[in-house]
């Protein structure tokens, strides 16, 4: 049996069952122009693949956005979908060599694309992002994104820049986005975030000085909150929510 996850743009084809959403279909991946193995196929060619299709794989299938699915299933189940989404995005944007422009080919022994002309190798891209729980006594800093895109408040986060440590990125992002200085920066945990290819590095930090000054570009408003006056916060599957829950469980 060939297990196939099928995407339509940024949505996943699913079939609703009594046990929840199902997304593995018994369809031959060779029927699709772009198919990527998630695991090493057997000699018979069986395995789990990801592919793209504008058409439903079976009657009754429907499309679901990954962020919606994120809140419906356990992290262990969602990991397979996240991997598939990231790998398809990588294949989609790495069709040609970034060095000389020639069409890329599949690497013979690695999960990579290689240029037959200049031997440039393109691995799946991962963007490092730091996300930080800032505490001040028994309260934490929560911020609301500018633009009103997300309906909840969350932790300050941002991309790591070139030649920057994760800790330096934490301090810089907090200073830039909310105008605060922090101390005692410590790593907490990490989480893949396939939107489209981020890896979230969670940190904790303590308030040192400064007044909250949202930058107005990334952050619209921010404030200090305790366990009894929390605004809407992310779902329990996200690293931000896990860090928030862990903080209040220990205070």
DSSP line for 150-182 = SSS-B-EEEEPPTT--HHHHHHHHHHHHH--EE
Q: What are phi and psi of 124, to 5 degrees?
A: -55, 130
Question: Which secondary-structure segment (H or E) carries 4?
Answer: strand 2-8
pLDDT digits (tens, 9 = 90+) for 215-240: 999 999 999 999 999 999 998 888 99
As a whole-number percent, the residues of the chain with pLDDT over 90 amount to 76
From 17-26, 85-94, 119-128, 162-171, the region with the lowest mean pLDDT: 17-26
Tens digits of residue pLDDT in 145-195: 998 777 899 999 999 999 999 999 999 999 999 999 999 999 999 999 999
DSSP track, 22-66: E--EE--GGGSSSEEESS---TTS-EEEEEE-SS-SSTT-EEEEH
Write down the residue that tokens 């309260």 correspond to: 139
141 pLDDT exceeds 60?
yes
Torsion of CA 46, 49, 54, 60, to 10 degrees: 70
* pLDDT of 3: 87
């Amino acid at each position: 049996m060939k297990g196939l996850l099928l995407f339509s743009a940024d949505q996943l084809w699913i079939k609703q069952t009594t046990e929840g959403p199902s997304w593995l279909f018994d369809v031959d991946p060779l029927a699709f122009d772009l198919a990527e193995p998630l695991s090493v196929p057997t000699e018979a060619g069986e395995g789990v693949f990801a592919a793209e299709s504008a058409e439903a794989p079976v009657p009754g299938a429907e499309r679901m956005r990954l962020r919606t699915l994120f809140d419906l299933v356990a992290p262990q189940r969602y990991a397979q979908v996240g991997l598939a989404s990231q790998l398809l995005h990588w294949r989609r944007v790495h069709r040609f060599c970034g060095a000389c422009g020639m069409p890329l080919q599949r690497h013979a022994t690695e999960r990579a694309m290689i240029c037959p002309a200049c031997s440039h190798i393109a691995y799946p891209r991962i963007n490092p992002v730091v996300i930080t729980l800032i505490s001040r006594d028994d309260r934490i800093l929560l911020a609301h994104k500018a633009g009103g895109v997300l309906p909840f408040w969350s932790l300050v986060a941002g991309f790591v820049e070139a030649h920057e440590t994760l800790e330096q990125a934490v301090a810089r992002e907090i200073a830039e986005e909310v105008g605060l200085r922090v101390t005692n920066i410590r790593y907490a945990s990490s989480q893949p975030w396939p939107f489209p290819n981020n890896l979230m590095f969670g940190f904790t930090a303590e308030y040192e000085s400064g007044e909250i000054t949202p930058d107005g570009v990334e952050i619209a408003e921010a404030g200090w909150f305790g366990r009894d006056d929390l605004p809407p916060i992310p779902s329990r599957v996200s690293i931000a929510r896990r860090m928030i829950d862990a903080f209040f469980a220990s205070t």
